[in-house]
Amino acid sequence: MMLHPFLFAPDGTGISFSGILHPDAAPEVRVFVLKWNDGRDAFDTIELCLPSGKVRHVAGFTEEEAGRCVRRILKLKDVIWDTAETVSF
């Protein structure tokens, strides 16, 4: 699965997305959030699916931080989906 950069925030958080997966049955786009965590010496990560918003994986982020990231991504889901359509074809 190829990932495409979408956004890099000033705090070092990066958001990337896949192209459209399973275009013939239940199409989805995977969105990944990464942020380096010096305390863990690893990336904090979130993986979720659009358009459903189902969170597949969270590591390192607090529940509050993850919820805030997911809510922000869901506000941008139409833009992310449209961009994924562009890179998928």
In the predicted structure, residue 89 carries a pLDDT above the cut 80: no
Report, as an integer, the average pLDDT of 48-72: 96
- The pLDDT tens digits of the residues spanning 3-53 come to 999 999 998 999 999 999 987 888 999 999 999 999 999 999 999 999 999
Closest CA to 69 of 25, 32, 18, 36: 32
- Global pTM reads 0.91
Closest CA to 85 of 15, 9, 20: 20
Tokens of 43: 């990336």
- Interacting residues of 78 by C-beta distance below 8 A, sequence separation 6+: none
